[in-house]
Structure 1
């Protein structure tokens, strides 16, 4: 077993202990990387966008700040 496989196994055990499914981790990643709520809601088969948002709107201030910095128009101005 490689070091990567060992670390991956440990990470998956940790996620299981916190009741984090693969689906939850993927949706969290999609949301942080610009996924749109209506698209995510349909992908996950939720009855409404509100259901999706209630399940995944638990970002820290740091995560929100990083998203803002990444997508802010002010950071992309060429002066």
Structure 2
């Protein structure tokens, strides 16, 4: 069974790869980049898991339904 540590390890490995690929170039806006890379697939996955039910997806995510709707619009997932 996957754990939070497994997920954290995947994020660390991806960041290691990102910084390696920069090849000496300065990093920029890493926080926003990581959030966008993670948030959209997370929202898609959970919404699919909830059968498209936004209230259920919001509950699974621990978000207010209005916050979820705003995020879905942000990523053009509606």
TM range (shorter): 0.3 to 0.5
TM-score by length of 2: 0.40
Higher CA-based Rg = 1
TM-score by length of 1: 0.40
